[in-house]
């Protein structure tokens, strides 16, 4: 099967196409013939070895000190089940599915073996491209808003980076949870963010992103602000959520300042959240935003688009 390998850290030019044997599914795994995958900001971070402040060494220890240990990147995909392991009961060959292998990676390949826990039926009404883009942004937004901030109906939510993969999911999930959502993005993306469900939209290139406060929850999905800067715009019991946090910011996580709390980290159990995200998509509550689509042969160009830091939602790669 064809795969894309990241054999060393660097720009999109380090990626190489290679041939590998088609994997056999383990007892609890589903082998999926990939129809679509994404280049997420997480894939681009690993490839470029670009980690938030102070995380360079811990990340390199985890991912490979001199070169990536897992060379085939890609944390999510959709496709058709090709084979199932002996303990798999929920899926059979021919089923159309979406999967979120998350940090196990391996989706930038013609076939991927994924634990059945991280696989769900492709939601009716979503195509393969949209289905492939559910996990990364959706699970992150759901974990921060529902599990950590415990966002309540009627609260005011500010989403900074509302046109990104995490931000566009946060706007939709925030609205679904009953919050009054303000989105922060640049001028050309304002209509789009309105259409996702934001009641107010702020252009960060012209106006203070914290305008319109106090907010009960501020979710910075792109790391352009700090808890200290946000304090003046938070309600007394407010929560500041940092999707991108330096080591120093992580040390403040869980602590309170003037009654407001700083929250950072990553979802501990992505498959459980993924099932909820897919159910939300099936119910029409969440629709992944697609920035662009590239053929599998052009995967380095997809990385270059992610490196711009101006994608709208997800960059999808399709296998035809
Ligand atoms: N903690 C976790 O578990 C976790 C999980 C997933 C992702 N992340 C991190 O979350 C970050 C976001 O990921 P993503 O894929 O959603 O990012 P992304 O899609 O690359 O975000 C790009 C979007 O951000 C907007 N943007 C850029 N600068 C901005 C600013 N100063 N203010 C407001 N909007 C701005 C851009 O809009 P314009 O073009 O209009 O500027 C663009 O639409 C990444 O750094 C990723 O590593 C963390």
Tens digit of pLDDT for each residue in 195-248? 999 999 999 999 999 988 899 999 999 999 999 999 999 999 999 999 999 998
In contact, 281 and 134? CB cutoff 8 Å = yes
Give pLDDT, residue 257.
Answer: 84
Give pLDDT, residue 136.
Answer: 98
222 Cα: distance to centroid of ligand 1 (angstroms): 4
For the CA of 265, the closest atom of ligand 1 is 1
Give pLDDT, residue 256.
Answer: 87
For ligand 1, atom 36, which residue shows the shortest CA distance?
310
256 Cα: distance to centroid of ligand 1 (angstroms): 25
183 Cα: distance to centroid of ligand 1 (angstroms): 13
* Cα–Cα distances in angstroms (integers) from residue 264 to residues 43, 247, 251, 252, in the given order: 20, 10, 9, 9
11 Cα: distance to centroid of ligand 1 (angstroms): 19
Q: Which domains does the chain have, with CATH numbers?
A: 2-134+288-318 (3.90.180.10), 136-264 (3.40.50.720)
pTM over 0.95, yes/no: yes
Give pLDDT, residue 60.
Answer: 96
User: Which mutation among 39, 205, 309 tests ligand 1's pocket best, with the greatest number of atoms within 8 A of CB?
Assistant: 309
What is the DSSP annotation of 124-186? Answer: TT--HHHHHTSHHHHHHHHIIIIIIS---TT-EEEEETTTBHHHHHHHHHHHHTT-EEEEEE-
Give pLDDT, residue 252.
Answer: 85
Which residue stretches of the chain have pLDDT < 70? none
Give pLDDT, residue 269.
Answer: 85
């Amino acid at each position: 099967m064809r795969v894309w390998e990241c054999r060393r850290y660097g720009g999109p030019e380090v990626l190489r196409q290679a041939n590998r044997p088609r994997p056999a599914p383990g007892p609890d795994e589903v082998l999926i013939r990939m129809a679509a995958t994404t280049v997420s900001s997480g894939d681009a971070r690993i490839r470029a070895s670009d980690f938030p402040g102070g995380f360079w060494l811990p990340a390199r220890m985890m991912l490979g000190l001199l070169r990536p240990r897992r060379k085939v990147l890609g944390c999510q995909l959709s496709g058709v089940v090709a084979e199932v392991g002996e303990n798999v009961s929920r899926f059979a060959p021919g089923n159309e599915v979406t999967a979120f292998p998350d940090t196990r990676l391996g989706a930038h390949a013609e076939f991927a073996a994924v634990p059945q826990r991280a696989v769900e039926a492709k939601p009716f009404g979503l195509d393969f491209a949209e289905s492939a883009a559910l996990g990364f942004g959706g699970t992150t937004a759901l974990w921060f808003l529902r599990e950590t901030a415990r966002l309540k109906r009627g609260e005011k939510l500010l989403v900074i980076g509302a046109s990104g993969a995490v931000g566009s999911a946060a706007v939709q999930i925030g609205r679904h949870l009953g919050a009054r959502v303000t989105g922060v993005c640049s001028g050309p993306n304002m209509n789009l963010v309105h259409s996702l469900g934001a009641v107010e939209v702020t252009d960060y290139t012209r106006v203070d992103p914290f305008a319109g406060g106090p907010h009960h929850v501020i979710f910075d999905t792109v790391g352009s602000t700090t808890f200290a800067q946000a304090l003046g715009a938070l309600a007394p019991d407010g929560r500041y959520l940092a999707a991108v946090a330096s080591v120093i910011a992580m040390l403040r996580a869980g602590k309170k300042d003037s009654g407001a709390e700083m929250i950072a980290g990553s979802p501990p159990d992505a498959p459980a959240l993924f099932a909820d995200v897919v159910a939300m998509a099936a119910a029409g509550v969440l629709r992944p935003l697609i920035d662009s689509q590239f053929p599998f042969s052009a995967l380095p160009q997809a990385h270059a688009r992610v490196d711009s830091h101006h994608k709208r939602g997800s960059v999808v790669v399709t296998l035809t």
